[in-house]
Amino acid sequence: MADISIRDVRKVYGKDEVIHGVNLAIHNGEFIVILGPSGCGKSTLLRMIAGLEDISGGEIAIAGTVVNDLEPRERGCAMVFQNYALYPHMTVGGNIGYALKVAGVKRAERDAKVRAVARSVGLEEFIDRKPGQLSGGQRQRVAMARAIIREPKVFLFDEPLSNLDAKLRVQMRHEIRRIHNRIGATSVFVTHDQHEGMTLADRMVIMNKGTIDQVGTPEEVYNRPATTYVAGFIGSPAMNFLSGEVRAGESAVALADGSRIALTPAAARAFDGRLVQIGLRPEALALCAPGEGALRARFDFYEEMGSDGLHHLMVEDVPLSVLSAHKQRMPEGQEVGVTVPPEVVHLFDVESGQRLEAGPGAVATIKRMEHAE
Amino acid sequence: MRRAYFKNNWIAAALVLPQLLIIFVFFYWPTSQAVFWSLTFEQPWGGGNDWAGLHHFRELLSDSLYWQSVRVSLVYAAGTTVLGMGLALILALFVDRQLRGYRQYRVGMIWPYAVAAPAIGLAFRYIFNPTAGVMAYVNQVWDGIWDPILTGWHAMAMIVIAGAWKNIAYNFIFFLAGLQSIPRSLIEASAMDGSGVMRRMRDIQLPLLTPTFFFILVINITDSFTDSFGIVDTMTNGGPARATNLMVYKIYVDGFEGQNYSSAAAQSVILMVLVILLTFVQFRYIERRVHYS
Ligand SMILES: Nc1ncnc2c1ncn2[C@@H]1O[C@H](COP(=O)(O)OP(=O)(O)O)[C@@H](O)[C@H]1O
Ligand SMILES: [Mg+2]
């Protein structure tokens, strides 16, 4: 069991810096999800923890020991790879037991342990098969078992579920969480899938082009995104953005088309005169009759989502979507109103993209991260 | 994909003809001649030939000189293959660790394979010459330590080294390609599992290299049977005392110097059957390539 402390860590490939001084404190036994789009540096960060990439700058400590110069095997981490990376010439049992074999564990003891771990992930009957004879889900389990058997201090996952079909992915997601709850080792899980991240994480780390934009519980990240980037990335369907200017006198944001979006008085006072981006989640809005509500829009098209309907509108030339169980199909171009309750409005600074929040518990400064220690 | 069809079969025939002609003139014609000669009593200066049946083959198989030639051929085959493949594998393992991802320089490494055997033989004849070459210095320090002209196994060692050198580059390219095609994540997974560099080579890289290994093995053995002529001819002429009288060289000596066409023809038929067998093994193996996934 171990905590991980990442201090001002950088990664440089040739002349390109791809991780720009990242700070992160991961607590013992925590399930951390690193979330971000492809190419933002998630894998690189994970592989620096694992010891598969050199650390160009800064420091990583596991359980209080700086591991910068330690070999992967000396760090006590186990890793599950995206393509599983099973040894194709070894049986399932051979794959699972390989780490113990390398460690010199006696045959009988090793076999017993392999059997026990294989049983725990439902692979007992496949123990003599080669990975090539398994389905994607079974291979995934072998990869998990290979990590579990080592009883590592830290579990590292690099998009381990992205090669599975949707149904299996959800199932394995739950299984991974169950295993985590049972074993309790610190886990760092990399993914680009926000649903996966939301359901698995104790805390999420949202990465953006080699930096960390926000660290927080899934609720925090969803309810109070620290930047427009996080706000746009988390939540599905994605958040709507409109720009305008805060008017304290009217306790609202004035949009270019003359409409007003009401703010809480505290927020309006705190940011009077600021140019802002307004973030509105589709599920926080509702349609109403034209002329009513805060926004005036035209109907664009309708998207069926099952339990809800996603109504795509245009506010002038800015798209805006409204998610509602009250499904309304309308002809294209028809005028509609949109109601916007003041408490659902997210404000962001136009220049910096940082969240603007007034009053106690303001997260305007949540941005970056509490430094390790 | 779109395929082009020739409307006119004449064009197709005209395009294929030169190929067929070459194959016929340089393969089927001489081969059938050799088989025919091996089954008849062939006169050195032409004239009639009488049917001999398997007489020449029976004679060969009871000839101790022939078996001696088979023996040295096997020694040469084993020597060049082990040396050439071993060194190539070690080099490839080192280069793979250092130069993952670099591919251009490989082209440069293939050149020794393209050098004709006699040229290699000439170069090594100089290097190993006991009185004039590099080894002459060794002989000066330690008199008579190196004498391939009189000592049979020195001569054998000499042609083995030359033959191995010729194949190292070729073997190396294939080994390196094989190593580089092993997914990086497997090596990383085994590193996470706690194995060090040597352990990884033994447990992961070498087992996954077996298809490449067998392919190169067959190529090397075949090559040692057929492409060794130039080396022997320039370096030892089969001597001393037939110590390097490889099968392919013996065919030449018996045929063109001993004028025993029929026996030489029988020997080439045997050698050809050997090579065909090896090629067959190789095709069979490639067909049934070990499938991992
Ligand atoms: N070996 C490498 N050499 C050069 N650049 C690399 C290398 N590996 C990754 N990168 C770059 O680093 C950035 C982050 O990559 P990565 O960590 O794999 O992203 P992610 O896992 O978030 O998709 C990318 O821009 C990628 O091109
Ligand atoms: Mg990645």
Q: Is the pLDDT of residue A28 over 90?
A: yes
Q: Which residue on chain A is closest to B187 by alpha carbon?
A: A85
Crossing angle of the two packed helices A92-102 and A107-120, in degrees rounded to 10 = 130
* Residue A45 Cα to ligand 2 middle (Å): 9
Nearest CA distance, B210 vs chain A (angstrom): 11
Contacts of B4 (CB under 8 A, 6+ apart): none
Average pLDDT, chain A: 90
**SS3 at position A301:** strand
* Residue A58 Cα to ligand 1 middle (Å): 18
Please check whether residue A292 is in contact with residue A329, taking contact to mean a CB–CB distance below 8 angstroms.
no
ipTM entry: 0.82
Cβ within 8 Å, pair A77-B203: no
Q: What is the pLDDT of residues A46-60, one digit of tens each?
A: 999 999 999 999 999
Average confidence (pLDDT) over B144-163: 80
CATH class of B78-289: mainly alpha
Which percentage of chain B shows pLDDT scores above 70? Answer: 83
Q: What is the pLDDT of residues B191-219, one digit of tens each?
A: 999 998 889 999 999 999 988 888 889 88
Strand pairing of A318-324 and A309-315? antiparallel
Q: What is the pLDDT of residue B293?
A: 39
Q: Using CA atoms of A9, A12, A13, A14 in order, give the dihedral in degrees to the nearest 10.
A: -160
Cα–Cα nearest to A273, from A308, A240, A251, A245: A245
Average confidence (pLDDT) over A140-154: 92
Q: What is the pLDDT of residue A115?
A: 93
Cβ within 8 Å, pair A78-B192: yes
User: Residue B11 — pLDDT band, cuts 50, 70, 90?
Assistant: confident
Nearest CA distance, B194 vs chain A (angstrom): 4
Distance CA B213, CA B92 (A): 12
* Residue A353 Cα to ligand 1 middle (Å): 25
Q: Is the pLDDT of residue B98 over 80?
A: no
Please check whether residue A243 is in contact with residue A279, taking contact to mean a CB–CB distance below 8 angstroms.
no
Tracing tokens 């001489």 back to the chain, one arrives at: B30
Which residues of B fall below an 8 Å CB-CB distance to A?
Answer: 183, 185-186, 188-196, 199, 203-204, 207-208, 291-293
Which class for B244: exposed (0-12), middle (13-18), buried (19 or more C-beta within 10 A)?
A: buried
Distance CA A132, CA A120 (A): 21
Residues of B within 8 A of A81 (CB-CB) are: 185, 188-189
Least confident of A152-161, A235-244, A360-369: A360-369
Average confidence (pLDDT) over A292-304: 91
- The larger pLDDT score, comparing residue A263 to residue B109, is at A263
Average confidence (pLDDT) over A177-205: 93
Which percentage of chain A shows pLDDT scores above 90? Answer: 69
Asked whether A35 lines ligand 1 (CB < 6 A), one says no
Q: What is the pLDDT of residue A361?
A: 41
Average confidence (pLDDT) over A270-294: 91
- Whether the CA torsion A221, A225, A226, A231 is positive or negative: it is positive
Please check whether residue A359 is in contact with residue A269, taking contact to mean a CB–CB distance below 8 angstroms.
no
Nearest CB among B193, B204, B293 relative to A99 is that of B193
Q: Which residue on chain B is closest to A133 by alpha carbon?
A: B293
* Residue A79 Cα to ligand 1 middle (Å): 18
Asked whether A37 lines ligand 1 (CB < 6 A), one says no
Q: Which residue on chain A is closest to B202 by alpha carbon?
A: A102
Q: What is the pLDDT of residues B36-53, one digit of tens each?
A: 777 777 766 666 677 777
Q: What residues are paired with A354 via a beta bridge?
A: A227
| CATH 2.60.40.420, domain A231-366, yes or no | no
Least confident of B78-92, B231-245, B279-293: B279-293
Least confident of A312-326, B123-137, B267-281: B123-137
Q: Is the pLDDT of residue A371 over 50?
A: no
- Whether the CA torsion A142, A157, A69, A87 is positive or negative: it is positive
- The larger pLDDT score, comparing residue A162 to residue B132, is at A162
Q: What is the pLDDT of residue A257?
A: 84
Least confident of A72-76, B132-136, B160-164: B132-136
> Residue length, chain B?
293
Q: Is the pLDDT of residue A368 over 70?
A: no
For chain B, what are the domain ranges? 78-289
Nearest CA distance, A187 vs chain B (angstrom): 15
CA A241 vs CA A222, A255, A315, A345, B148: distances in Å: 15, 12, 11, 10, 87
Q: Is the pLDDT of residue A364 over 80?
A: no
Q: What is the pLDDT of residue A357?
A: 83
Contacts by residues B245-253 (CB-CB < 8 Å, ≥ 24 positions apart): B245/B68, B245/B69, B245/B72, B246/B69, B246/B72, B246/B73, B246/B76, B247/B69, B247/B70, B247/B73, B247/B271, B248/B73, B250/B66, B250/B69
Residues of A within 8 A of B190 (CB-CB) are: 87, 98, 102
Distance CA A152, CA A286 (A): 49
Q: Is the pLDDT of residue A231 over 50?
A: yes
Average confidence (pLDDT) over A313-326: 92
Least confident of A152-166, A352-366, B175-189: A352-366
Average confidence (pLDDT) over B225-254: 83
Q: Using CA atoms of B215, B221, B225, B231 in order, give the dihedral in degrees to the nearest 10.
A: 100
Cβ within 8 Å, pair B194-A102: yes
Residues of B within 8 A of A77 (CB-CB) are: 192
Residue B180 sits at φ, ψ, to 5 deg, of: -70, -20
Chain B within 8 Å of A185 (Cβ-Cβ)?
no
Cβ within 8 Å, pair A89-B191: no
Which class for B20: exposed (0-12), middle (13-18), buried (19 or more C-beta within 10 A)?
A: exposed
Q: Which residue on chain B is closest to A94 by alpha carbon?
A: B203
Average pLDDT, chain B: 80
Least confident of A46-60, A134-148, A333-347, B241-255: B241-255
Distance CA A315, CA A311 (A): 13
- The larger pLDDT score, comparing residue B140 to residue A106, is at A106
User: Residue B236 — pLDDT band, cuts 50, 70, 90?
Assistant: confident
Q: What residues are paired with B4 via a beta bridge?
A: none
- For CATH 2.40.50.140, the residue range(s) in chain A are 231-366
| CATH 3.40.190.10, domain A4-225, yes or no | no
Q: What is the pLDDT of residue A145?
A: 93
Least confident of A79-93, B55-69, B106-120: B106-120
Please check whether residue A197 is in contact with residue A36, taking contact to mean a CB–CB distance below 8 angstroms.
no
**SS3 at position B218:** helix
Distance CA A344, CA A347 (A): 10
Q: Which two structure tokens, joined as six digits, stand for B191?
A: 């590193």
Q: Using CA atoms of B235, B240, B241, B244 in order, give the dihedral in degrees to the nearest 10.
A: -40
* Residue A192 Cα to ligand 2 middle (Å): 8
User: Residue A372 — pLDDT band, cuts 50, 70, 90?
Assistant: very low
The pick from A13, A35, A49 for probing ligand 1's pocket by mutation, whose C-beta has the most ligand atoms within 8 angstroms, reads: A13
User: Residue B2 — pLDDT band, cuts 50, 70, 90?
Assistant: low
Q: What is the pLDDT of residue B291?
A: 46
Q: Is the pLDDT of residue B152 over 80?
A: no
Nearest CA distance, A198 vs chain B (angstrom): 27
Q: What is the pLDDT of residue B3?
A: 58
Tracing tokens 């090629």 back to the chain, one arrives at: B279
Least confident of A169-173, B97-101, B160-164: B97-101
Distance CA A47, CA A49 (A): 5
Q: Is the pLDDT of residue A138 over 60?
A: yes
